[in-house]
Chains A and B, each alone.
Chain A
Amino acid sequence: MALAKRIIPCLDCDNGRVVKGVKFVDIRDAGDPVEIAKRYCDAGADEITFLDITASHEDRATTVHTVEAIAGQVFIPLTVGGGIRTLDDIRTMLNAGADKVAINTAAVFNPEFVRQAAERFGSQCIVVAVDAKQVSQPGEPPKWEIFTHGGRRATGIDAIEWVKRMVDYGAGEILLTSMDRDGTKMGFDIALNKAVSNAVQVPIIASGGVGNLQHLVDGIVDGEADAVLAASIFHFGEYSVEEAKEYMQEHGIEVRL
């Protein structure tokens, strides 16, 4: 009997529609985030992460409505990320029914924002999302830097030091994405996950690179992650959340079935 490791499907949404492609055989509307979130929830997802990639600020009202609709039907934790820049943004999302918000770029520009957010709303709802890229050369001790703007802009900030600082400021959880692995289907960056997980006391969500179910197991067993996040392997119906959990359980990982 122990705390279960979590599986978190991630929905990338643009103007109220799930993008990055979602294909299910028997779904009415493959792009409807509410329907997809409900489906994952019914399949045993432990949480849902909703990443808003809507470009224009005016379209954010759509995002709020979508979050409200998901929260009215899905009774597992819901994290909303993308464009969270102010305390008002956080309040809006929490009022819409989000349980946590993921802060990324705004934390890099203004680290104090994370402290203020944790003080105002509590660490339990502040997830700091970190996009990390390996900058050391082969043969050197591993070193990762954080990037912003979806991994396009280097910051020169060391990833391990950054995560420690964010936890010190009140981050309750770290969503750690490897920019080297994201979209590759080669598996998580295990060394990065392990280094971050050992550096801080709070839970780590591993993200970026999942191509098969063994990758999920590796992220938890070798990468020492507390939760694993994946999008495409679930969206395209390659694997269901149930299959992922059964596979993890067969490999000795405690899951909620």
Chain B
Amino acid sequence: MNKIAVIDYGMGNLHSVAKAVEFVGRESGTPTEVIVTADAKLIANADRVIFPGVGAIRDCMAEIRRLNVGEIVADAMKSKPVLAICVGMQALMQRSEENHGVDCLGLLPGEVRYFGDKLTDPTGARLKVPHMGWNQVVQTREHPLWKDVPDNSRFYFVHSYYVQTSRQELVTGITHYGTEFVATLAAGNIFATQFHPEKSQTAGLTLLRNFLQWDGAA
């Protein structure tokens, strides 16, 4: 039994990700159990951990700290594969510009920045914020989670803030939207996506299937 814990710290919609993982587990014929929980013991007993997140970073970080989720994620990262999604990815970084500046978990090196109110494309046309919809991800290095995912595949994004890091060796995918930003990061046992694989149809489900089979070695 492949046990997947989806960390629930009360922020938004975890059902989409749980349903997508259940679906992928069923399709691939591997018995998969998905638990949506904040219980440290259940998460410690899981084979793999998903760290999702939606909404504003200040509220997310407040709940993450209140429920000691930072420590749970840090522990999980040492021993098993972890997939961080959207605000879950942002929460791993050092600091976010959102809500007048919020300290994040600092488990990965980098900052979370605002797209800005005057974002334009290369032709000078105005770009809307949030960045909402299907955009292409350029795979900047090989990773087991990219298996069978064509380079430049489109994934579903919805966010107004994005991750930047000076540690280029951690970046596994980039996307352009007025600026170049980090779409995916990988470090040891962790893989983090700014997009929502659970909402990205074939490309996203393939990535989730890869995660369910990944042993954590980069």
- B204 in the interface, Cβ–Cβ < 8 Å? yes
- B154 in the interface, Cβ–Cβ < 8 Å? yes
Cα–Cα distance between A120 and B201 once the two chains are bound (Å): 27
Distance in Å: Cβ of B180 to nearest Cβ of chain A: 11
Q: Would you call B134 and A72 a contact (CB within 8 A)?
A: no
Q: Would you call B154 and A256 a contact (CB within 8 A)?
A: yes
A98 contacts which chain B residues (CB < 8 A)? 13
- A34 in the interface, Cβ–Cβ < 8 Å? no
A203 contacts which chain B residues (CB < 8 A)? 128, 130, 132-133
Within B153-211, the residues touching A (CB, 8 Å) are 154, 156-159, 176-177, 198-201, 204-205
Which of B16, B130, B135, B204 touches A99 (beta carbons < 8 Å)? B16
Number of A interface residues at 8 Å Cβ cutoff, please give it: 33
Interface majority SS (helix, strand, loop, mixed), chain A: loop
Q: Which residue of B lies closest to A93 (CB)?
A: B13
Distance in Å: Cβ of A176 to nearest Cβ of chain B: 14
A124 contacts which chain B residues (CB < 8 A)? 54-55, 130, 132, 158-159
Cα–Cα distance between A256 and B159 once the two chains are bound (Å): 19
A72 contacts which chain B residues (CB < 8 A)? 19, 22-23
Distance in Å: Cβ of A44 to nearest Cβ of chain B: 9
Which of B15, B130, B133 touches A172 (beta carbons < 8 Å)? B130
A173 contacts which chain B residues (CB < 8 A)? 132
Which of B55, B156, B176 touches A122 (beta carbons < 8 Å)? B55
Q: Would you call B12 and A122 a contact (CB within 8 A)?
A: yes
Q: Which of A1-9, A52-60, A140-148 contacts B (4 or more CB under 8 A)?
A: A1-9
Within B100-139, the residues touching A (CB, 8 Å) are 117, 121, 127-136
Q: Would you call B13 and A99 a contact (CB within 8 A)?
A: yes
Within A64-86, the residues touching B (CB, 8 Å) are 71-73, 75-77
Q: Would you call A94 and B12 a contact (CB within 8 A)?
A: yes
In the complex with contacts A77-B156, A124-B158, A201-B117, A4-B15 CB distance below 8 A = no
Q: Would you call A227 and B198 a contact (CB within 8 A)?
A: no
Q: Would you call A99 and B129 a contact (CB within 8 A)?
A: no
Q: Would you call A123 and B130 a contact (CB within 8 A)?
A: yes
Q: Which residue of B lies closest to A46 (CB)?
A: B134
In the complex with contacts A121-B12, A121-B55, A4-B23 CB distance below 8 A = no
Q: Would you call A202 and B130 a contact (CB within 8 A)?
A: yes
Within A179-229, the residues touching B (CB, 8 Å) are 201-203, 226-227
Which of B11, B54, B135, B204 touches A75 (beta carbons < 8 Å)? B204
Please indicate which of the listed interface residues A3, A46, A77, A98 has the most CB atoms of chain B within 10 Å of its own CB: A3
**Interchain Cβ contacts within 8 Å, total number:** 99
Q: Would you call B15 and A71 a contact (CB within 8 A)?
A: yes
- B20 in the interface, Cβ–Cβ < 8 Å? yes
B176 contacts which chain A residues (CB < 8 A)? 1-2
Q: Would you call B205 and A75 a contact (CB within 8 A)?
A: yes
A76 contacts which chain B residues (CB < 8 A)? 156, 199-201
Cα–Cα distance between A2 and B133 once the two chains are bound (Å): 10
Within B1-40, the residues touching A (CB, 8 Å) are 11-13, 15-16, 19-20, 22-23
Q: Which residue of B lies closest to A173 (CB)?
A: B132
- B42 in the interface, Cβ–Cβ < 8 Å? no
B177 contacts which chain A residues (CB < 8 A)? 2-3
Distance in Å: Cβ of A41 to nearest Cβ of chain B: 7
Q: Mark B41-55, 1 if CB is under 8 A from A, else 0.
A: 000000000000011
B56 contacts which chain A residues (CB < 8 A)? 122
Q: Would you call B54 and A226 a contact (CB within 8 A)?
A: no
Question: Which residue numbers of B lie inside 8 Å of A, CB to CB?
Answer: 11-13, 15-16, 19-20, 22-23, 54-56, 117, 121, 127-136, 152, 154, 156-159, 176-177, 198-201, 204-205
8 closest residue pairs by CB, A with B:
A122-B55, A256-B134, A4-B134, A94-B13, A256-B154, A124-B158, A3-B135, A97-B15
What are 17 A-B residue pairs whose CB atoms fall within 8 Å in the complex? A1-B176, A3-B134, A4-B133, A46-B134, A71-B15, A71-B16, A75-B23, A76-B199, A76-B200, A121-B12, A121-B13, A121-B54, A122-B11, A122-B12, A124-B130, A203-B128, A203-B133
